[in-house]
Amino acid sequence: MSTPAERITVSRRIAAPAAKIFSFIIDPDMHVAIDGSGMLLASPDSEPVAAVGDTFLMNMDREPLGDIPMGKYQVQNTVTRFEQDRLLEWTIGGVDQEPFGHLYGYTLTPVSADETDVELYCDWTNFSPALKERVTWPVVPAHMLENSLGNLDSLARR
């Protein structure tokens, strides 16, 4: 099996202003599921993120399978880069959890007053060598990132 790409990026042009799209991205109440399945939803227990160092929780429950009660299995995330209406990047890990070494990020580029190019990426370049030897799959496949952008597109067009 070949080694997967260490950075997976998808993009979509969304017919909405960057500020409107960004408001969904930074608010855990409206946050788009990163894998499109409901397994990686930011928890509404978290405050909207506003700066580097802010943390938020992500629910990892598998509700469709009924094996873990919703809200019981959560992972902390820490914002590593933040630019209002333009960029949000975070790493998995935080105060109670060492970073796993992979990043997620949104980059927004205004095209016009009513259109924005949105890029969503997962980068696991900084995984430890020992972990890279054990991992033989992308952390988040491209189609899951595409689903997330599709959900974001639907929210922004309302």
List, for residues 89-134, the tens digit of each pLDDT value. 988 876 555 666 788 899 999 999 999 999 999 888 877 777 777 7
What are the domain boundaries of the chain? 7-156
User: Is the domain defined by 7-156 classed in CATH 3.30.530.20?
Assistant: yes
- How many other β-carbons are positioned within 10 Å of the β-carbon of residue 123? 19
Compute the C-alpha angle 17/22/24, nearest 5°. 110
Name the token pair of 119.
């890029």
Tokens 């820490």 correspond to what residue? 78
Q: What is the mean pLDDT of residues 50-55?
A: 89
Sheet holding 41-42, edge to edge: 7-14, 115-123, 103-112, 87-92, 74-83, 55-59, 41-42
Using the predicted structure, report yes or no on whether residue 1 has a pLDDT greater than 90: no
Instruction: Convert the pLDDT of each residue in 64-81 to its tens digit.
Output: 555 555 556 677 788 999
Give the residue among 10, 24, 9 at the shortest CA–CA distance from 156: 24
Separation of alpha carbons 158 and 153, rounded Å: 9
